[in-house]
Amino acid sequence: MAGRPPRRGASGRDGAGKGAGPGGPGRSRTTKRPERARTGPRTSALDAAQRAAQVRGDAAAKHAPWRPGRSANDDAPESFDEKPARAPRTRAAPPTGAGIAPRSRRPADAASPQPEPPTRREQRAAASATLASGVQTLTVEADEAGMRIDRFLTTRFPQLPFTRVQSIVRKGELRVDGKRAKPSDRLEPGSSVRVPPLKLEATTERPRSATRDATDADFLRSLILYEDAEMMVLNKPFGLAVQGGSGTVRHVDGLLEALTGPDGQKPRLVHRLDKDTAGCLIVAKTRLAAATLAKSFRSRSARKVYWALTAGVPRVHQGRISTYLAKEEPTDADARMRVAKHGDEGAAHALTYYAMVDNAAQKLSWLSLKPVTGRTHQLRAHAAHIGHPIVGDPKYFSVENWELPGGIQNRLHLLARRIVIPHPRTGKPIDVTAPLPPHMAQSWNLLGFDASRYDPIVEAPEA
């Protein structure tokens, strides 16, 4: 019995494990198993996760662009032996204890005051300063209520040519609340306007400078016929375009930049005149005034009187011209207008009252015209329609074997003589009259017309 191995029991296998197991003397298997179960697998998983995150970070670091405020070492791969992978960065606020400055994307003096956040007006100005390269959605604000679609885009993107604005709307690239819109559609506050990618073509316009702004401001002030805090009426000269277009660098809309006020508001156009038409042009100084004045034009509360020198003498000295007008080329913003029929594509009703004030030897007539509607080239097309086109009109004058009388310049003889419109704040009528431009004054003197003569169109019916 002395040679038999000891009985396995309390002092057997378990006892040997307690005394000299694989872990060494004094370590117990029963103690080590839970310890390995608690720490071994977790430590292994954490190491694997850290190493995988580090590998992903190294791969991303190779392609990550450099950003201001970060050093080259920020994205450098770290050694696995030195320290574990960094924990993901959080958006928690940085500590603000003494000597600790919040991290900035660009170096700055910690002691210098932080710049104030931009105002809403500054944000909108910055947004319009750079045209978007992708699709964007704009929200119509309260002070933009009632604006035409094309006017809204021109206001938001002043450097975008008006012809481009019209093209965007005409081709259906713009959506209002998810639907296609026409250039003449009016916007409601809160409406969503989806704008396609916009590109600004190279322009030959010189960059603005303080000297140029001062010169432009002085020029515009020399044209003012009426002015108050809400509006002004300019005497637009012959040959000066109201808005920019193909090949047009100098125009009223661009010149108005020089009159931008301290609050950042630029005077706004309310209506338009043809480039070669002289006379009264209303400009609003505030967005609210612009909306109110535009509403007056839409409701026909504004009364306009034009003077023209025409070929021949109308058989009926006072009359009414009522037609439908449509563009000969719908894709051309400055296309010639033709008399159309009701129902024709793009046809719109146009109504004009006229009266002959005087004539010269039955060859030329001084007509006073009052448009009730405001169609493109309406007066020029209507004068040609009744057989008495306006002298100097390059688009509509087509009288055969007609020679320009000596001393009369071959320029469009059309003047926006007078405008009466309710004031945007008080509602009281503002009545402004423009003088004859130099070339028309020369013709009036040559033909013996008296500009102070009674104008019968004043008594013509309103509609």
Q: Which residues contact 80 (CB under 8 A, 6 or more apart)?
A: 50, 51, 54
Q: What is the CATH number of the domain that holds 396?
A: 3.30.2350.10
Query: Based on the domain organization, do 245 and 147 belong to the same domain?
Result: no
Q: Which residues contact 109 (CB under 8 A, 6 or more apart)?
A: none
Residues facing residue 269 across a β-bridge: 283
pLDDT for 147:
81
Cβ atoms of 437 and 278 within 8 Å: the answer is yes
The token duo for 196 is: 């396609």
Total of domains in the chain: 3
The token duo for 91 is: 């958006």
Maximum mean pLDDT: which of 27-31, 39-43, 161-165: 161-165
Residue at 400 is within a domain: yes
Q: Given its phi and psi angles, is residue 76 left (phi above 0), alpha (psi -120 to 50 degrees) or beta?
A: beta
Query: Based on the domain organization, do 367 and 443 belong to the same domain?
Result: yes
218 an active-site residue?
no
Query: Based on the domain organization, do 164 and 263 belong to the same domain?
Result: no
Query: Based on the domain organization, do 250 and 358 belong to the same domain?
Result: no
Query: Which residue range is the domain that position 243 belongs to?
Result: 210-284
Percent of the chain with pLDDT over 90: 42
CA distances from 402 to 45, 215, 398 (A): 99, 42, 9
Report pTM.
0.62
Query: Based on the domain organization, do 365 and 434 belong to the same domain?
Result: yes
Query: Based on the domain organization, do 439 and 313 belong to the same domain?
Result: yes
pLDDT for 55:
52
Report pLDDT digits (tens) over 240-273. Answer: 999 877 677 899 999 999 998 887 788 999 999 9
Residue at 134 is within a domain: yes
Q: What is the CATH number of the domain that holds 128?
A: 3.10.290.10
Query: Based on the domain organization, do 169 and 231 belong to the same domain?
Result: no
Report pLDDT digits (tens) over 395-413. Answer: 999 888 888 888 999 999 9
pLDDT for 1:
46
Query: Based on the domain organization, do 304 and 453 belong to the same domain?
Result: yes
d(CA 458, CA 462): 10
Query: Based on the domain organization, do 319 and 425 belong to the same domain?
Result: yes
Residue at 252 is within a domain: yes
pLDDT for 110:
45
List 150, 216, 253, 274, catalytic entry? 274
